[in-house]
Amino acid sequence: MPNIAQLMRKIDGLQQRIRPLAFAFAVLRKYGQDSASNWALLIAYYGFASLFPLLLVAVTLTGIIFAHDPALSHQISNTVFAQIPVIGPELRSKAGVHALDAHSPIALVVGVVGTLWGSQGIASSAQEAMATVWNVPMTDRPGFLPRTGRNFGILAILGVNVVVTSSIATFTATLAGHEISKVLLIIGTIAINLGLYIAGFRLLAPKTIPTKDLLPGALIAGVAWSALQQLGGFLVGHELAHASATYGVFGLVLGLITWLGLTATLTLYAAEVNVVHVRKLWPRSLVQPPLTAADKAALTALVEQQRYRQEQEITVAFGTPSDSSAKDAESARREA
């Protein structure tokens, strides 16, 4: 046991001295302490519930915007579904998503607004997840109306990203040179995804954080998300291996949740990168005691985010292990 403890101390000292390794470990540690994996699962669940209403709105708006060219509208709609790897075409054929009736303006507006209202689950869970990542106290989180406004802002960002990315894919597909079109598609997709994450992080992060401090995570997420779109076919296909043939529609559900879960996990890790970078939350200790200054700052933020009232005061203090042992012994003596 002593040899194992000494080895862990050496590994801990090594990771704290190497800056990139210390930063990466700090991101992993904070991701775990924020229970971000639970939020990623919740976003994936609400994303699954919101996907069909959002696809309905996307197909409807695409049909209205490109009403003069039905062929182009149909092609863009197919490209929207194609952004979901492996299962996109199958999703369209099985889900039977068709545009809302555009002949009645009132019915169309009511249908679009009602559909967007019903698909707010993913935006609400994303807001709560980002507030948890930034350890925003409960007293500082937005109320119902501001939160609803942000929800529609998030949905608008997602909609613009899907439509623009699909339009780029449709345009590059018409180019003669296959290699040129592929390069243009990759560059355009990365640029659009980068803009998506900058806008999304700016909308969700505390206003006191300058936009420039959000760029590292946005850059990582934009590039990684673009790579995930390219590799998604392999990842989801591997997860689904024969699932569709065996389980039918349940295989489709499994593929969707897998894809949405990967996307949510990637986004939250990128957000954690921004928080660790802005607040200098590294190096973190692998073995305690002692706690580093970054450990104390991160643990203090975790406690302070539980402030529910303005008049509530929260004080965080760190003692030594000997102090804790003495308190435990005193508690045990009193119970006896």
Percentages helix, strand, coil for the chain (3-state, rounded to 5) are 80, 0, 20
d(CA 186, CA 149): 32
Identify which of 125, 130, 198, 124 has the alpha carbon closest to the alpha carbon of residue 161: 198
pLDDT of res. 288:
83
Residue 336's pLDDT band (cuts 50, 70, 90): very low
Q: Which residue has the higher pLDDT, 104 or 313?
A: 313
> How do residues 210-268 score in pLDDT, each as one tens digit?
999 999 999 999 998 888 777 765 555 555 555 555 555 566 677 778 888 988 999 99
- For residue 177, count other CB atoms closer than 10 A to its CB: 10
Q: Give yes or no for residue 133 having a pLDDT over 80.
A: yes
Q: What is the pLDDT of residue 283?
A: 95
Task: Please write the tens of the pLDDT for every residue from 12-28.
Answer: 999 999 999 999 999 99
How many domains are contained in the chain? Answer: 1
d(CA 240, CA 234): 10
Residue 147 scores a pLDDT above 50: yes
| pLDDT, the chain, mean | 79
Task: Please give the pLDDT value at position 90.
Answer: 56
Give the domain extent around 59. Answer: 2-335
Percent of the chain with pLDDT over 70: 70
Band the pLDDT of 332: cuts 50, 70, 90: very low
Distance CA 175, CA 170 (A): 9
Mean pLDDT of 289-304: 94
Q: Report which of residues 89 and 229 the model is more confident about.
A: 229
**Residue 267's pLDDT is what?**
95
